[in-house]
Structure 1
Amino acid sequence: MSGMDFEEIELPAPPMADLPEGVTFDQASIDALFGDASDLMPQKSGLRAVIESRVVNHARLPMLEVVCERMVRSFATSMRNLTSDAIEVSLDEIASVRFGDFMNHVPLPSMLAVFRVPAWQDYGLVTVEASLIYAVVDALLGGRRGAAPRKIEGRGFTTIETTLVSKMIELILREFSTAFEPISPVTMELERIETSPRFAAIAGPSNVASAATFGVDMDGRGGKFTILLPFATLEPVRGKLTQRFMGEKLGGNSTWLNHMRSEILQTEIEISTVLGERQMRLADIQSLAPGQTIAFDVAPDDPLEVRCGGVTLARAQIGRQRNQIAIGIVSTIGKEMPR
């Protein structure tokens, strides 16, 4: 073998199985022979499994659904005035998704409008599908009703298309702001329009966001748009969005509050005035006898503590009024009193 080149060695042909003609292996057969490839992947555990989990646990936001329903009615009227066509708007779904998963599933080409909410000091996102973009452009430029707009593949959106669709996006933000007025008066401002999800990242990939998808039908043509609000953006109004109905107040209504206040003010409590305190050994206490005097380091004019339930309320001086022992408050009752 010393003088033989390895390239000159002829290897025998691999043995072929005698299979009937027309028989092929599918993926299930391959997995049965060699095992499932997913079993070889390392299983995620610990914090990584929690972060990269596809299951999104979230609290329901009932008031956000009410806001979106108000948005459907008002936006349909505004779109009819903009396009002079019969517009039907519907709320398809409201879902909680991770921002990274949502951006990975945005159908391209699409327009991604980044808007800012100054009152909340954060950002949101509006995505508009290509079918709705071409339908709006066709309607605003006087296209025939009932005819589906022609979609041109392999090119980006022109300046005219972006300008026309931006009018619809500004209309979406204005109506969505109006729908939010009963919850919290806000103003949503369009900041920029992007066509690549890479340049529209307003949150981390693992951040949870609420996505409301709306459908727009314009005489057989139209599409969908989605309003995405990260939970970090909704944090200032999360408490109001978790209410079950409009105007719900946490802690009860004013009638019960006034009744509870009046009853508490009529409640009788027992207060005590501490004349003095002294630490003694248990043996000394056991040796006390009737008539024995205990001395305290308190002068007659020193203020005494007024307590209730072991809590110091105020300081007072002891005296006599109408043949009865009385105390006079010398300091106001406040939280700064030592306990």
Structure 2
Amino acid sequence: MTEVLSQDEIDQLLTAINAGDTEPEDFKPAADTRKIKIYDFKRPDKFSKEQIRTISIMHETFARLTTTALSAQLRSMAHVHVASVDQLTYEEFIRSIPTPTTLAVINMDPLKGNAILEIDPAITFSIIERLFGGTGEGTKSQHELTDIEAAVMEGMIVRILGNLREAWAQVIDLRPRLGQIETNPQFAQIVPPTDMVVLVTLETKLGEVEGMMNFCIPYLTIEPIIGKLSAQFWYSSARRAATNENLNTLKEKLSTVDIDVVAEIGRIQVPIKDVLALRAGDVVRLYNVKVGDTFSLNIGNKKKYLCRPGVIGKKIAVQIISKTEELEKEEFEELTTEEEEL
């Protein structure tokens, strides 16, 4: 904080300088201890640290699912994990990847725009060789994919995209689709070179072969859901998903439970000796019940519906008229009126 000198202090300093007791060089400005962050206006930061962290968590799930999928498909040890999540320009991403390589253009429906999944050539040819019955050691030669090799990689990438949908499920119901596969980065211009992208780098190991998979998502594509990429939304979504899952399980279990449904015509108090004396053809007179009155349809021991008697074919049936909410309301009003009269 800057200290303001009084007039007397200023006069004393001027007197000391004029008298030669103090040199002007002795009065040096205090060192600026503020932390200065360099900001490049050509590369503005689009993602906050919290959003980068959330994207990393999402793709850690994607990495685990992909590890399982690759191991099952290739019948070999596989390991995928998130190495880094960075934001950079699309031009910098294109320049950082080799040529030729495997570039899968991904449609990010329902989000607008595309993303790119880039697979290192060493990983690509290791997958192809393993699926063709080889050891999976890959090949040192770098060449563009043949039609057969491209078809094999398409099938593998489609499997991987299913894992991507599951990893993004708590943020959006993503339905990624494979557009086309390119081998030259210059033919995969999905956004202008200066646009910012988020790059998820996945370190991949198949047997003894190591390489990288890069998932590049333009800011323009992810912008509509950028507000959902926060820790608070992420964890609240996880809780909601768990609650909905429990609720669906509970509903599924309850749907198989049997319960009595009884159409009640009326009630009457009868001595036990009269009940024991009842025979076929006897008539029981119900009080406060008239022909044409509706019945109460009970679910368990609760009155739920009003119904009318009828016949379907040779079977006795009832037709549901309405719920008993209005009936319960009328009974409550009658009971209240009686209490007031008392």
TM range (shorter): 0.5 to 0.7
Which 4+ stretches in 1 moved above 3 angstroms? 55-58
- 1:130 equivalent in alignment to 2:118: no
- 1:96 equivalent in alignment to 2:87: yes
Give the equivalent residue in structure 1 for 2:131.
140
TM-score by length of 1: 0.55
Instruction: State how far apart, in whole Å, the 2-side matches of 1:114 and 1:69 are.
Output: 21
Confirm or deny: 8 A CA contact 1:108 1:130 kept in the other structure. no
Question: Any idea what the Cα deviations from partners look like across 1:138-188, whole Å, max 9, x if unmatched?
Answer: 11111126xx322224x3221122111222221222111110001111100
1:149-298 alignment runs, 5 A limit: 149-153=138-142, 155-244=143-232, 246-248=234-236
Instruction: State how far apart, in whole Å, the 2-side matches of 1:68 and 1:212 are.
Output: 8
Q: CA deviation at 1:78?
A: 1.0
Confirm or deny: 8 A CA contact 1:114 1:191 kept in the other structure. yes
User: Which amino acid is the alignment partner of residue 106 of structure 1?
Assistant: I
Q: What SS does the corresponding residue of 2:186 show, helix, strand or coil?
A: helix
Instruction: State how far apart, in whole Å, the 2-side matches of 1:99 and 1:219 are.
Output: 31
Confirm or deny: 8 A CA contact 2:107 2:115 kept in the other structure. yes
* Count of residue pairs the alignment pairs up: 196
Confirm or deny: 8 A CA contact 1:63 1:244 kept in the other structure. no
- 1:79 equivalent in alignment to 2:67: no
Instruction: State how far apart, in whole Å, the 1-side matches of 2:217 and 2:185 are.
Output: 15
Confirm or deny: 8 A CA contact 2:90 2:194 kept in the other structure. yes
Confirm or deny: 8 A CA contact 2:46 2:196 kept in the other structure. no
Instruction: State how far apart, in whole Å, the 1-side matches of 2:217 and 2:75 are.
Output: 30
Q: What SS does the corresponding residue of 1:109 show, helix, strand or coil?
A: coil
Q: Percent identity?
A: 21
Gaps of 5+ in 2: 1-39, 238-342
Q: Which has the higher helix share?
A: 2
Instruction: State how far apart, in whole Å, the 2-side matches of 1:200 and 1:126 are.
Output: 11
Instruction: State how far apart, in whole Å, the 2-side matches of 1:75 and 1:87 are.
Output: 9
Confirm or deny: 8 A CA contact 2:45 2:87 kept in the other structure. yes
1:1-16 alignment runs, 5 A limit: none
Q: What SS does the corresponding residue of 2:110 show, helix, strand or coil?
A: coil
Gaps of 5+ in 1: 1-48, 250-339
Instruction: State how far apart, in whole Å, the 2-side matches of 1:113 and 1:99 are.
Output: 15
Q: What SS does the corresponding residue of 1:224 show, helix, strand or coil?
A: strand
Question: Any idea what the Cα deviations from partners look like across 1:275-294, whole Å, max 9, x if unmatched?
Answer: xxxxxxxxxxxxxxxxxxxx
1:55-66 alignment runs, 5 A limit: 56=45, 58-60=47-49, 61=51, 62-66=53-57
User: Which amino acid is the alignment partner of residue 124 of structure 1?
Assistant: A
Q: CA deviation at 1:132?
A: 0.6
Question: Any idea what the Cα deviations from partners look like across 1:274-318, whole Å, max 9, x if unmatched?
Answer: xxxxxxxxxxxxxxxxxxxxxxxxxxxxxxxxxxxxxxxxxxxxx
1:298-317 alignment runs, 5 A limit: none
Q: What SS does the corresponding residue of 1:125 show, helix, strand or coil?
A: strand
Instruction: State how far apart, in whole Å, the 1-side matches of 2:230 and 2:170 are.
Output: 14
Q: What SS does the corresponding residue of 2:68 show, helix, strand or coil?
A: helix
Instruction: State how far apart, in whole Å, the 1-side matches of 2:96 and 2:59 are.
Output: 22
Give the equivalent residue in structure 2 for 1:108.
99
User: Which amino acid is the alignment partner of residue 100 of structure 1?
Assistant: E
1:315-334 alignment runs, 5 A limit: none
User: Which amino acid is the alignment partner of residue 74 of structure 2?
Assistant: T
Confirm or deny: 8 A CA contact 1:109 1:156 kept in the other structure. yes
> Root-mean-square deviation (CA), in Å?
1.9
Q: What SS does the corresponding residue of 1:246 show, helix, strand or coil?
A: helix
Confirm or deny: 8 A CA contact 2:122 2:139 kept in the other structure. no
